[in-house]
Amino acid sequence: MISWLFLSFIFGYVASTDSFNEYLTTNPLQDGRVDVGFNFTITDSEISPHTNLFPLPLVNLLRSPEIDIDELHLSLSAGIWDYSKWHYPHFPQLGSSGIELWVSHNSDSTPTKWNRLVHTLSGMFCASFSTSDNAHQVELKGKTWTHAQIASQLPCTENLTPFIALLPCKSSAGLGQLLNPHKLFDADYHSLGLSLYRTDNGARVEIMIEAVMNPTRVNQQRQYSTKGMLDRSVNSPCPLADSSKVYFNLPPTPQQGHDEDLWVVLPEDHDGEVKDGIVDLDIMQSVKPLALSVVYPFQEIFTYPKSITNPPLLIRRDQIAGPIEETMLVRTVVENTEDNDRQVSYFHSIPWQIEPWLHTFTINGGLNDTSYKHSLGEAKKDPYKLQVNATIPAHSQLTIECLYQRQFLQYADYAPDIHRGVDIPPGVLLFNRDDETRFQYTTPLLIDLATPDFSMPYNVIIITSTVIALFFGSVYNILVKEFQLIPRKEKAKTD
State the residues that interact with other proteins by CB under 8 A: 1, 56, 78, 115-116, 119-120, 122-124, 126-128, 130-131, 152-158, 161-162, 164, 171, 180-182, 184-186, 415-417
Find the radius of gyration of the CA atoms of the chain: 31
Largest CA distance in the chain: 141
Q: Report the nearest approach of other proteins to the CB of residue 380 (Å).
A: 15
User: How many secondary structure helices (H) and strands (E) does the chain include?
Assistant: 9, 25
Q: Report the nearest approach of other proteins to the CB of residue 183 (Å).
A: 8
Nearer of residues 157 and 432 to other proteins, judged by Cβ: 157
CB 164 within 8 A of CB 174: no
Q: Report the nearest approach of other proteins to the CB of residue 458 (Å).
A: 14
| 354-364, strands of its sheet edge to edge | 313-321, 327-336, 397-406, 354-364
Q: Report the nearest approach of other proteins to the CB of residue 203 (Å).
A: 18
Q: Which residues have a Cβ under 8 Å from the Cβ of 387 and sit 6 or more positions away?
A: 138, 345, 346, 347, 372, 373, 375
Nearer of residues 211 and 428 to other proteins, judged by Cβ: 211
Angle between helices 157-165 and 111-125 (to 10 degrees): 100
CB 289 within 8 A of CB 270: no
Q: Which contiguous run of DSSP H or E holds residue 249?
A: strand 243-249
User: How far is Cα 164 from Cα 176, in angstroms, rounded to an integer?
Assistant: 7
Alpha helices in 2-110 (DSSP H): 2-15, 56-63, 83-86
Q: Report the nearest approach of other proteins to the CB of residue 337 (Å).
A: 31
Nearer of residues 158 and 280 to other proteins, judged by Cβ: 158
User: How far is Cα 306 from Cα 255, in angstroms, rounded to an integer?
Assistant: 15
**CA distance to 247, 250, 363, 366, per residue, from 394 (Å):** 34, 32, 17, 10
Nearer of residues 153 and 223 to other proteins, judged by Cβ: 153
Nearer of residues 335 and 423 to other proteins, judged by Cβ: 423
Q: Report the nearest approach of other proteins to the CB of residue 367 (Å).
A: 42
Q: Which contiguous run of DSSP H or E holds residue 181?
A: helix 181-184
Q: Report the nearest approach of other proteins to the CB of residue 306 (Å).
A: 29
- In this structure, what is the dihedral angle of CA atoms 58, 60, 66, 71, given to the nearest 10 degrees? 30
* Residue 319 backbone phi and psi in degrees, to 5: -110, 120
User: DSSP letter at 382?
Assistant: B
Nearer of residues 60 and 249 to other proteins, judged by Cβ: 60
Nearer of residues 181 and 254 to other proteins, judged by Cβ: 181
Q: Report the nearest approach of other proteins to the CB of residue 207 (Å).
A: 17
Instruction: Give, in degrees to the nearest 5, the angle at Cα 96 between 92 and 222.
Output: 80
Q: Report the nearest approach of other proteins to the CB of residue 411 (Å).
A: 10
Nearer of residues 84 and 128 to other proteins, judged by Cβ: 128
Nearer of residues 128 and 405 to other proteins, judged by Cβ: 128
Q: Report the nearest approach of other proteins to the CB of residue 186 (Å).
A: 4
Sign of CA dihedral 253, 79, 390, 307: negative
Nearer of residues 167 and 388 to other proteins, judged by Cβ: 167
Nearer of residues 155 and 312 to other proteins, judged by Cβ: 155
CB 40 within 8 A of CB 245: no
Give the count of beta carbons closer than 10 Å to the beta carbon of residue 353: 22
Q: Report the nearest approach of other proteins to the CB of residue 156 (Å).
A: 4
According to DSSP, the β-strands at 189-198 and 224-225 are unpaired
CB 409 within 8 A of CB 390: no
Give the count of beta carbons closer than 10 Å to the beta carbon of residue 192: 25
Nearer of residues 156 and 265 to other proteins, judged by Cβ: 156
Q: Report the nearest approach of other proteins to the CB of residue 428 (Å).
A: 23
